[in-house]
Amino acid sequence: MADSQTVPHSVALVVGAGGGLGAALVAELSQSHGTVLALGRTTQPAIDFSDEASIASAAAWVAAECQRLQGELRLIVVASGFLHGAAGQPERSWSQLSPDYLQQVFLVNTIGPALLMKHLLPLLPKQGRCVAAFISAKVGSIGDNALGGWYGYRASKAALNQLVKTASIELARRNRQALCVAVHPGTVDTALSQPFSKTGLNVRPPAQAAREILTVLQQLPLDATGQLVDYQGQTLPF
């Protein structure tokens, strides 16, 4: 770690760095932040959400990088997520519920982020402001659910929001200036949203969404910890 004469510089980490939003977050942070570490399924080390050892190894690499760079991990953004793919499509009706799809959507949207909390949150400094942000979705809001459908995705993001709230309480015991938040990015033009984009939605390019999200994370008051906030800084109902 840095000696007492040196102010450690701030290191940011993006998980899900190969995704549309994740890649834009890495690009934006590289310009505005300084040191950015990027992790995903194809990075070295690689993260596999079905293999906790890969997450533990990646966390050990992050800790070693911070030490080598004489920096402190001040920002974590988890931008991984799953809505559609080989395991299936979001359900329009309960008749379409499938174990394969439910397992995949919960693995990527809930279990992976939970294990990231376990291995990454202890790396945050015990003093000074730091932020752990988990990209969630407004459709995970139970209070906001007026349309139905998308059972698995909604439930996996609602569960993520509960994990964020719970972790925020534990994190505050270590550092009163640490925030743990769930973030709704709005509709972003990525592979995840493309099959579902329709007219009337405010679809934003990933670079714009990344800038907006990072601005919100920079400005969030400490009492926003544990909440679901959107890309404009508004708190959404759980």
Report CA-CA distances (Å) from 43 to 15, 19, 37.
10, 12, 10
In the complex, the smallest distance separating the C-beta of residue 14 from ligand NAP, rounded to whole angstroms, is 9
Backbone conformation region of residue 2, classed left if phi is above 0, alpha if psi is from -120 to 50, else beta = beta
Residue type for 110, please?
T
Residues 181-210 that bind ligand NAP (CB under 6 A): 185, 187-188, 190-193
Q: Nearest CA to 20 among 197, 208, 228?
A: 208
180 binds ligand NAP (CB under 6 A): no
3-state secondary structure of 131: strand
Residue from 16, 88, 90, 226 touching ligand NAP (CB under 6 A): that is 16
Q: Would you say 20 or 90 has its CB closer to ligand NAP?
A: 20
| Site residues (CB under 6 A) for ligand NAP, limited to 21-80 | 21-22, 40-42, 49, 79-80
Instruction: Write down the least CB distance from residue 145 to ligand NAP, Å.
Output: 14
CA distance 83 to 121: 25
Rounded to the nearest 5°, which phi and psi values hold at 170? Answer: -70, -40
Please state, in angstroms and rounded to a whole number, the distance separating the CA atoms of residues 186 and 234. 12
* Cβ atoms 210, 194 nearer than 8 A: no
Measured CA to CA, the distance from residue 185 to residue 135 in angstroms comes to 7
**Residue 38 or residue 171: which is nearer to ligand NAP going by CB?**
38
- Show the site string, 84-123: x = touches ligand NAP by CB under 6 A, - = not: ------------------------x---x-----------
Single out the segment in contact with ligand NAP by CB under 6 A; choices: 10-18, 66-74, 165-173, 217-225: 10-18
172 versus 203: smaller Cβ distance to ligand NAP: 203
- In the complex, the residues that contact ligand NAP under the rule CB under 6 A are 16-22, 40-42, 49, 79-82, 108, 112, 135, 137, 185, 187-188, 190-193
